Amino acid sequence: TSSIKNERCCLVSLSGSGSTDSGGARGDSLDLAAHDAPDARWPRQNSLSMKEWDIPYDELKLFEMIGTGRFGTVYRGSWHGAVAVKLLHVHSLTDHCLQLDTFKHEVATFRKTRHENLVLFMGACMKPPRLAIVTSLCKGMTLYTHIHLRKDKFTANKSVIVAQQISQGMGYLHARGIIHKDLKTKNIFLENGKVVITDFGLFSVTKLCFGTNARGDSLGIPPGWLCYLAPELVRALRPHASLHLPFSKDTDVYAFGTVWYELLCGEYPFKGQPPEAIIWQVGKGVKQSLANMQASRDIKDILMLCWSYRANERPDFPHLLSTLEKLPRKRLARSPSHPVHLSRSADS
């Protein structure tokens, strides 16, 4: 049975003044008629081909809830077989026409993706207020569950295999012009040793879910989010402005650096520090110290490069992949397509 997670956000006051509750949910009702009109900004051909990816909501069978994240609630479902259905929270739409466009645009982006290390996008329900994304159901556990909940230990060799597959999936996304914007261990599944990346390009649908986290002058920071944010993103944090952060391929590489650190160290960088302290340090270019880390110079170099303060000094994924391939391995006779076997730590 799956546990239902309902995580609370950390509120960080950015202005220093007392926060005034502007009321998160505005409860705007949706004007359905507005969405039935043809959208002038979408070429006709495009909107026709979009139809292929429309899944009528009634065709979906929803079973138990798997969990709740920033954008919506994920259910185990059935649509020509087992699927994961991400129902978006759309109760608090403000400028909903524009946001529906954003959603459609993102759906148009997903359908272009076909890669072994990316979750299979199957379609979407695009009739408000029923907005949902349907993907294949990932069978394994997330890296987050392995690393932080089960305390599974990844050897350097296993970490390299996982990192190579992440780099392959991310390299593919970037080559197709897609920025993930939310690369984190919670969005990376391990299915029999194969990496499956989820939730790429979805970040801007938070526009649809706007109002769930932000209050007054405070910024809602989901737990474990900050340490994936590159300095240029941290510096751009404002109340309500996480919607307009300057994400780029380079910010994805920074996030990959954090995933690489978690794989190797079994914890988040800046562990136990309050959000304000992390924001201040990352914004100034202070990195998590690697002094106590048991790893070779090459492995630490990858980390430091990915976490470069200047975005243009970070490597790209093809470069990372070739660096990872060149790492000296201890008695490693597996190729990336072979399963990664994990050992449980003695205490779990």
Handedness of CA 92, 93, 99, 100 (dihedral sign): positive
Output the smallest distance, CB 196 to ligand ADP, in A.
Answer: 8
Site for ligand ADP contains 258 (CB under 6 A): no
* CA atoms of 16 and 163, how far apart (whole Å): 40
Nearest to 206 by CA among 76, 50, 92, 57: 92
Least Å from the CB of residue 10 to ligand ADP = 14
Q: Least separation, in Å, of the C-beta of 73 and ligand ADP?
A: 7
**Applying CB under 5 A, which part among 20-28, 47-55, 173-181, 193-201 lies near Mg ion?**
193-201
Widest Cα–Cα separation across the chain: 63
**Cβ-based nearer residue to Mg ion, 156 or 208:** 208
Beta bridge partners of 91: none
- Strands 141-142, 188-191: pairing is antiparallel
Q: Which stretch binds ligand ADP (CB under 6 A): 67-75, 299-307, 316-324, 328-336?
A: 67-75
In contact, 13 and 218? CB cutoff 8 Å: yes
Site string for ligand ADP, 12-51 (x = CB under 6 A): ----------------------------------------
Residue 182 a catalytic site member: yes
Which of residues 71 and 110 has its CB atom nearest to ligand ADP in the complex? 71
- Given Mg ion, ligand ADP, none, residue 106, with its beta carbon under 5 to 8 Å by kind, binds none
| Residue 342 burial (C-beta neighbours within 10 Å; 0-12, 13-18, 19+) | middle
* Cis bond upstream, residue 129 (ω within 30): yes
Site for ligand ADP in 73-132 (CB under 6 A): 74, 84, 119
* Distance between CA atoms of residues 248 and 233, nearest Å: 10
CB of 67 to ligand ADP, least distance (A): 3
What is the signed CA dihedral for 297, 299, 304, 306, rounded to 10 degrees?
A: 160
Residue from 106, 199, 250, 262 in contact with Mg ion (CB under 5 A): 199
Three-state secondary structure call for residue 41: coil
For residue 167 the two structure tokens come to 């780099």
What is the enclosing helix (H) or strand (E) of 153? strand 152-153
Looking at 99, 113, 159, 187, which residue binds Mg ion (CB under 5 A)? 187
Residue whose C-beta lies closest to Mg ion? 199
Looking at residues 280 to 319 of the shown chain, list those that interact with ligand ADP (rule: CB under 6 A). none
The binding site for ligand ADP (CB under 6 A) comprises 5, 66-67, 69, 71, 74, 84, 119, 135, 137-138, 142, 186-187, 198-199
Positions in the binding site for Mg ion (CB under 5 A): 187, 199
Enzyme catalytic residues? 182
